[in-house]
Amino acid sequence: MDPNEMARSYGNAAKNLSRSWLEAGSAVFAANRRLADAARLWGDEARAAQEVLARAARRSGEETRAVFGAGEGPPDTASLARFGDLVRAQTFLWTAANLAAAERLGRAASAGGESLPGFPGFADLAASAPSPRVFVLGVVAADLWVGYAGLRERSRWTPDLVRDEDWELQHRRGAGRVLDAAAALGGTLIKAAQFASSRPDLLPAAYVETLSELQDRVPPQPWPVIEGAVSREIGCPVSAAFAEFDPDPVASASIAQVHRARLADGRLVAVKVQYPGIASLIEADLSALEGIFKASLDSNPPSTCSRSWTTSAGSSRWSSTSAGRPKPSKT
What digits encode the pLDDT tens for the residues 244-291? 999 999 988 888 899 999 998 999 999 999 887 777 777 777 777 776
The Cα 79–Cα 233 span in angstroms is 58
Q: What pLDDT digit, counting tens, does each position of 133-173 carry?
A: 888 988 999 999 999 999 999 999 998 889 889 999 999 99
Res. 302 pLDDT band, cuts 50 70 90: very low
Query: Are residues 89 and 176 in contact, defined by beta-carbon separation less than 8 angstroms?
Result: no
To the nearest 10°, report the CA torsion of 89, 94, 96, 98.
Answer: 180
The pTM of the full predicted model, rounded to 2 decimals, is 0.69
Span 192-202, average pLDDT: 87
Angle among Cα 113, 114, 120 to the nearest 5 degrees reads 100
Based on the domain organization, do 291 and 164 belong to the same domain? Answer: yes
Q: How many CB atoms lie within 10 A of CB 309?
A: 15
Ramachandran bin of 181, using left for φ above 0, alpha for ψ from -120 to 50, beta for the remaining angles: alpha
Does a structural domain hold residue 324? no
Quick one: 10 exposed, middle or buried, by C-beta within 10 A (0-12, 13-18, 19+)?
Answer: exposed
Based on the domain organization, do 215 and 294 belong to the same domain? Answer: yes
Does a structural domain hold residue 190? yes
pLDDT of residue 325: 40
When comparing pLDDT for 279 and 217, which is higher?
279
Ramachandran bin of 314, using left for φ above 0, alpha for ψ from -120 to 50, beta for the remaining angles: left
What letter represents residue 131's amino acid?
S
Kind and range of the H or E run holding 23: helix 3-69
Kind and range of the H or E run holding 308: strand 305-312
Of 56, 76, 77, 79, give the one whose Cα is nearest residue 67.
79
Q: Give bridge partners of residue 319 from the DSSP assignment.
A: 308, 329
Based on the domain organization, do 210 and 236 belong to the same domain? Answer: no
Span 195-222, average pLDDT: 85
When comparing pLDDT for 87 and 1, which is higher?
87
Looking at 164-178, 180-194, 305-319, which range is the least confident one?
305-319
Span 316-329, average pLDDT: 42
Of 216, 214, 196, 78, give the one whose Cα is nearest residue 144.
196
Q: What pLDDT digit, counting tens, does each position of 23-50 carry?
A: 655 555 455 556 666 666 677 778 888 8
The Cα 317–Cα 54 span in angstroms is 33
pLDDT of residue 70: 80
Does a structural domain hold residue 213? yes
Of 330, 323, 290, give the one whose Cα is nearest residue 308.
330
Based on the domain organization, do 153 and 263 belong to the same domain? Answer: no
Based on the domain organization, do 254 and 107 belong to the same domain? Answer: no
Local structure of 74: helix, strand or coil? coil
Does a structural domain hold residue 263? yes
By residue range, what is the domain housing residue 115? Answer: 28-198+205-221+279-303
The Cα 93–Cα 176 span in angstroms is 10
Span 293-316, average pLDDT: 48
The number of folded domains in the chain is 2
pLDDT of residue 195: 87
Based on the domain organization, do 181 and 247 belong to the same domain? Answer: no
Local structure of 325: helix, strand or coil? coil
Q: What pLDDT digit, counting tens, does each position of 80-127 carry?
A: 899 999 999 999 999 999 999 988 888 776 655 444 444 444 445 444
Q: What pLDDT digit, counting tens, does each position of 6-24 carry?
A: 656 656 665 665 566 556 5
pLDDT of residue 307: 42
> 99-118: string of b/e by CB count within 10 Å (b at 16+)?
bbbbbbebbbbbbbbbbbee
Q: State yes or no: pLDDT of 177 exceeds 80.
A: yes
pLDDT of residue 173: 95
Based on the domain organization, do 229 and 152 belong to the same domain? Answer: no
pLDDT of residue 305: 40
Query: Are residues 141 and 133 in contact, defined by beta-carbon separation less than 8 angstroms?
Result: no
Does a structural domain hold residue 80? yes
